[in-house]
Structure formats: C-alpha cells, structure tokens
Amino acid sequence: MSKKTILKMMLVVLFLFCFWEMVRAARLEVTTTNDNVPGSLRAAITAANSNNEDDTIFLQADTYTLTTPGSKEDQNASGDIDIHSNITIVGAGASDTLIQAGTVFSWDPLLEHDSVDRIFHIHPGATVVMRGITLRYGIAPDGENVDKGYAGNGLKIGTYSGTIKIISEYADNSPQNIPVILNVYGEGQTLSPFGEMDTPGDGAVVYGSIPVTGWGLDDIGIQNIQVFRVAGTNPVYIGDAVFVEGARPDVEQSYPGYPHNTKAGWGYIMLTNFLPDAGNGTFKIQAIAIDSEGNQVTLGTKVIICENSKATKPFGAIDTPGQGGTASGSNYINWGWALTPQPGTIPADGSGIMVWVDSMPVGNPVYNLYRKDIATLFPGYNNSQGAVGYFSLDTTQYKNGVHTMAWSVTDDAGNTDGIGSRYFSILNINSSIKNTGQTQ
C-alpha cells in the first residue's frame, strides 16, 4: 500500500472522528417558547439526555414557561426538566432570557405564583452550566413529600454537597468553582440563633462613640442584629448592626459547618451623645438576633454609664464607608464629622484630624464644612457650623478584602480621641472602578 493511500485513509479516519465528536457534542437551538413540542427547551434536553455527551443548548431573548403538568416523573416528559447528562445552557442575558415554572394561579404576576413543580431536576452524575439566564417561580408542591421524609422543597431531609460554577466574560479569573453544602431540615428541626454581645463591657463608663460588637450564627441564617436601649420593660430601637466578612476568624474555626460563619462578627457604632439627656446617665443596651424564620434570641444585655457632660475629648462619626461597607476606585470619598467640647476647637484646616487605614496614617481630611443636621443637633460648639470633613482615598493601593478605618481627632487643647473605627471591604475589579461616597 502506497504512502499516499495510507495518508488518504488517515485523513478519512480523522474526518470521521471529528464528525462523530461534533455529533456527540451537539449544539442545540431552542426555537420556540412553547413547552414539550419540537424545538422546545424540553425537547432539546431530551435530545441531550439521549446522547449522554456534553451538549450546549442556546436560547433566545424570551420567556420559556414549563406548562406540561405532572410531577414525580424523572424522564423529562412532564413537570420539571429532568437532566441526566452534562449540559451547558446559554441564554441571551440574565435580564433577557427567563426560564420559569408553570403556575396554577397567577392573576397578578407580581403578587402570586403558585408553581406546579421545580424548574430543573439535575440527576446524579450530571453537570449543568448556565450562562445568561434567570430562573424563577420553581418550587415543589407545598408539603407534597413531607410525609415521606422530604422537605417542602422536594429534597430529602439531610445534607447535600455540590459545586456552583460562576462564569463571566468580564472577569479575568473566570470561571470560578465554589463548593457548597446544603442542609435540608424538616418542619420543627431548625434551631434558634446563638452568639454573644462582647462590647461594651458591663458597667463601662463611656462617652462619645462606642462600639457595640459581638458575633452570631444560625443553622439557616441570621436576618439581622438589632440594638436596643431598654427603658423599663419597653425596648427602644437604636439601630441594626452590620455583619463583617472576616472579622471573627475564631468563630469561623469554632463553627465550621454553619452558614455565613465567615462573617459571624457584627458591630454597631453607637454615638452615646444621642441617648437621653444628651447622653448622660445609666443605660441598659441590648442586642437581639433574629433569624430568617423569625426566631429571636437576646445575645446580651450590658449596662453602661454615660458621662458626656464630663467629656473633654473630641467625638464624632465616620459616615462613609459604612460599617461593613465597600469602597472602590482611586478617588473614594471618606466622609465624617467631628466636634469637641467647649472651650476646645478643632483646627478648621483639618490638621487636627488624621485618617487611619489598617492602623497606618494616610492623611488629613478637608474640614470645616457645614451640614444642617449636625449644626442642629449640636449647637453651641466652636465647630458646630463646620463639623464635616472628607478625605479622598485611593483604594487601588490596597488589596481587595477586609480593612480597618478610623479618624483620630485632636483639638487646640491637645485633647485626642478616635472616632468611627470600623471594618470595611475594598473591591476593585480590573479597571472597572466606581467612585462612591456622600455628597454635600
């Protein structure tokens, strides 16, 4: 057999192999929004399941509703979409391509959606990647399988593990695989939140701004931490604390299996000058955790003695970034305000104020700006008409992640104190940076 004949045979084999691979890994186009008809999403999934290869399904900008009734079926004939093979589903964009479960009753699409089944049922061994798609309304019939050891979402009670793949054409580090653990509980099996209120110390003598801090966890998730002043038997709401990512690694290590354990630490900066009698007297402060199911637990109650009338040091607050907030860009505006008790004065040129990031001094703010609320709440101070300042921070000089910020304020008598100490996050993605902050 000649070399030329052998070469021709090799090319034919190579062509057949490539053709077979193209057939096995098909590109499937969905051509109709109707369900369970030729060209539908369900038909494309059925075709992909049958060849048991890695296929890609493309959807146009439209809404695809699963209208074929019949749950508890695993061959993709009715109800949810059953996926048994590796499939990639690509839409025209999350805001343009929608896949939704069929609804029994939806007279007002903004108010009522009683779904007949889930949207997708991904069976063991299958891997599904979705891009440019929004899923909505899918849910198992309420209580359908509770008596058979299932939760109301159609999953058996127990612990599941998996991976979420995040893909973005705008991110250099795409794709990202995120391991996830899902705990499914039956009715009455969940627990109440727990944690501690760490500061202020019980019986502490305080003035100005003080941190109210602690930590909290829940087997499902804490909705919020509320700080109250207890007046007799009636709690008076003060504000919501903020959870801060990475603030309590000790709690994260002690409770590795709990949701949101990486941001169990919470904090609230309380300006005691706002308490009754201009922040003078004995007050009882309480922190209450509320989980996503509505369970409430008191994390702690502390008695503080406020002596703002005896204070000689400056006080104030940082407005932006907020506690646990996010900053980005080369010109992020850090706003705050500061006053000092009479007869002291804070230099109007801002030289008495230092901005600190990660415990390092970074510069003086522009100071002596008027703000009506501060001037009204605190009249009679030498800086009442110009208590506000701002500092331009180049966050691109810092790594993405959690950082600390505070202002230190010194008046003309040499009295010094720190204000607004907080955790915040810096997030800069490539060159897409955005200035944020407060406006005058």
pLDDT at 1 over 80: no
Structure tokens at 242: 């903020």
Rounded to whole angstroms, the Cα distance separating 386 from 370 reads 4
Higher-pLDDT residue of 168, 431: 168
Q: Is the dihedral of CA 69, 71, 76, 82 positive or negative?
A: positive
pLDDT at 113 over 60: no
Task: Specify the 3-state DSSP secondary structure of 179.
Answer: strand
Please compute, for residue 127, the number of CA atoms within 13 A of its CA located in the half-sphere on the CB side.
8
The DSSP bridge pattern shows strands 315-318 and 326-327 to be: unpaired
Band the pLDDT of 375: cuts 50, 70, 90: very high
Band the pLDDT of 143: cuts 50, 70, 90: very low
Q: Is the dihedral of CA 40, 46, 48, 50 positive or negative?
A: negative
Mean pLDDT of 121-147: 71
pTM of the predicted protein model: 0.59
Higher-pLDDT residue of 145, 303: 303
Structure tokens at 245: 């990512």
Q: Give the pLDDT of residue 430.
A: 62
354-371 exposure pattern, b = at least 16 Cβ within 10 A, e = fewer: bbbbeeeeeebbebbbeb
Q: Give the pLDDT of residue 79.
A: 85
pLDDT at 309 over 60: yes
Please name the CATH architecture into which domain 194-310 falls.
Sandwich (2.60)
Rounded to whole angstroms, the Cα distance separating 172 from 432 reads 12
Mean pLDDT of 243-247: 85
Band the pLDDT of 193: cuts 50, 70, 90: very high
Please name the CATH architecture into which domain 315-426 falls.
Sandwich (2.60)
Q: Give the pLDDT of residue 302.
A: 97
Amino acid sitting at position 327 = A
Residues 437 and 333: beta-carbon distance below 8 Å: yes
Lowest mean pLDDT among 140-144, 145-149, 417-421: 145-149
Torsion of the alpha carbons at 36, 41, 44 and 46, rounded to the nearest 10:
-50
What are the two backbone dihedrals, phi and then psi, of residue 224, each rounded to the nearest 5 degrees? -165, 160
- Over the stretch 318-343, which tens digit does the pLDDT of each residue have? 999 988 889 999 999 999 999 999 99
Band the pLDDT of 350: cuts 50, 70, 90: very high
424 burial level (CB within 10 Å; 0-12, 13-18, 19+): buried
349 to 345, 384, 387: CA distances (angstroms): 11, 15, 11
Q: Which runs of consecutive H residues, i.e. helices, occur in 259-342?
A: 276-279
- Residue with the two structure tokens 């991110």: 171
Lowest mean pLDDT among 41-55, 61-75, 91-105, 191-205: 91-105
Task: Return the domain boundaries, the chain.
Answer: 3-139, 145-187, 194-310, 315-426
Band the pLDDT of 10: cuts 50, 70, 90: low
Structure tokens at 308: 């703002």
Mean pLDDT of 238-262: 91
Band the pLDDT of 274: cuts 50, 70, 90: confident
- Over the stretch 170-186, which tens digit does the pLDDT of each residue have? 777 888 888 888 777 77
3-state SS track over 337-393: EEECCCCCCCCCCCCCEEEEECCEEEECCEEEECCHHHHHHCCCCCCHHHCEEEEEE
